Structure 1
Amino acid sequence: MDQEHTKDWLKENWFKAGILISILIIAYSFYHVLVVKPEREAKREEAAKIEAQLVEEQRKTKAKEDLASCVTTAESNYSSIWFGECKARGLLSQWCIETENLDFQEYLTKLGIPEEEYKKQRGITDDKAFSAILDYFERKEDCSCSLPLAIADRKNESLKDAKDICYKQYPQN
């Protein structure tokens, strides 16, 4: 009898059931269009915004690194040119000429001595870890000379021009 009753009810109310189902489908569609889709779009936009910020941050970091590298190269070239001028004029000691391109470890290797022996030879009594390295680089700072003003001005202007090129090539904005 239940089946019979259900069939009768459907015959009498099929139009009402259809309207109810249609209303539910329309309501679901509105919910999807007004709630679900905007949430998805907002999430996509947020992800795109984060991605764009990350790309921009990476671009700025690379630009800073490239600028620093360019300026370092310009300063290194300047130092080499200045050193070359001093060397050509005979204004440098033999030690300065021999150690021109050596870092501390390379210098020790060239001499064939350990760091402790270097400290002993130089009379360094400080037991701090970097005392020998600092001594070495302080000695290297003395490997320069005063050039005639016209030459010095030209070298300084050349350095300024090289740095200006770096700042134009790698703007930091």
Structure 2
Amino acid sequence: MEYLYRKGHRSIAGIFKSDDVQGLQRYEGYVDTLRNLRLPLEDAQVFWYNTENKNHILQMDGGWPAVERTLSGCTAVVCYNDEIASRLIINLHKQGVRIPQDMAVVSFDNSQYCEICPVGITSLSHSHDNVGKMAAELLIRRLRGEECTSETAFWTLVERESS
């Protein structure tokens, strides 16, 4: 979000998944960053979905009108993951919205969707090697009966055409 702010965006929507921990944590990060940047938090600029309705939300005859309302007046959007970002970009293109000129899109996970999307998606990435190493070290400590504290894996921004 700070990246989008530095690029001049002040009205940033969010699309988050409500029924998993990552979705809630990513939303918390979105809210914290808006506060730190002294940007308003508008409920109307946040769209929630869940596992059950994921495929419905971005269908033109389904949940798309609600997503469009969420994006109204915004110049950027943070998506829960790359799959949602990719599907969003495809729908926005169908509506004549230019990415990133009219709407910047960023997401999480740096998955294969970033490369196969018509517009390369700017995405936050964890180093899989680093996360795997951290998990293995925690498991070994746990097996030894040692006290384990939670570890934080930091994100790296992989910038592509969508922003």
Give the shorter-chain TM-score range: under 0.3
**Structure with greater contact order relative to length (CA < 8 Å, sep ≥ 6):** 1
Q: Which of structures 1 and 2 has the bigger CA Rg?
A: 1
Higher strand proportion, which one? 2
Higher helix proportion, which one? 1
TM-score if structure 1 supplies the norm length?
A: 0.22
